[in-house]
Amino acid sequence: MTTDDTILRVEGLAKSFGTTEVLKEISFTVRKGETKAFIGPSGTGKSTLLRCINQLIVPDRGRVYLHGEEVTHAGAKINQYRAKIGMVFQNFNLFDHLTALRNVEIALLKVKGMKEGEAREKALFELRRVGLEDRADHYPAQLSGGQAQRVSIARALAMDPDVMLFDEPTSALDPELTGEVLEVIRELAQNGMTMLIVTHEMRFALSIADEICFMEHGTILERGPPADLRDSPAFERTRQFAGRFAEL
């Protein structure tokens, strides 16, 4: 792996809540256009890891670099940094009192300082990208879970992020609605977006990821190309976990 196309570098991230060590010295790099999937039992620190990367949580130790520049404890520049990291949560986190269009527009107006017309055009473009231009005037309560999640993906994309973080983007959805969301994510991967995805959708992770990291007890127990983790995992724990979810 060359280092020049590294976008994101995570070095020795550690975080405890009380006496519980939730992340133990996590390190990895992400290349431009790479999709890295994180799998593993719940409670192993996957969400905490993503939150430390975009500084929603301040890690106890360790560093995060974007384009070689350290962003941990970014201080006054934190909002500038966050604007470059798109985050998609399990529960969408849309504003209920705003339409789909407004949900996508709002950060363009407030954070990017775009003019109304320009913001609207960009928001409509992003809604079109996730197949929801015709739902622009709907409120979140009038959307299906799959549509709401696609709006939140459009909202993240509208900021033109360098990296997208997905935290179990389909686990709050009814099974028949996961496909439309996974399709949007797959298309992003194919178009060269750099992404970290926490997911229990094993088959999806196997088909989309360049590398899969199996997390357990706050560490990356094992990592490698999807086929290696599927066919010849080094650890029995990885085999058990991957096997269980592959059947879903």
Ligand X SMILES: Nc1ncnc2c1ncn2[C@@H]1O[C@H](COP(=O)(O)OP(=O)(O)O)[C@@H](O)[C@H]1O
Q: Write the binding mask 12 to 51 for Mg ion: x where contact by CB under 5 A, - elsewhere.
A: ----------------------------------xx----
- Nearer to ligand X by C-beta: 180 or 204? 204
91 scored as a contact of ligand X (CB under 6 A): no
Q: Binding to Mg ion (CB under 5 A): which residues in 122-181? A: none
Is the distance from CB of 23 to CB of 183 less than 8 angstroms?
Answer: no
Residue 22 or 213: which CB sits closer to ligand X? 22
**Binding-site member from 5, 12, 17, 232 for ligand X (CB under 6 A):** 17
The yes or no reply on residue 58 touching ligand X (CB under 6 A) is no
Binding flag, residue 45, ligand X (CB under 6 A): yes
Q: For ligand X, which stretch binds (CB under 6 A), given 4-12, 43-51, 93-101, 175-183? A: 43-51
Binding site for ligand X (CB under 6 A): 17, 22, 42-48
Binding site for Mg ion (CB under 5 A): 46-47
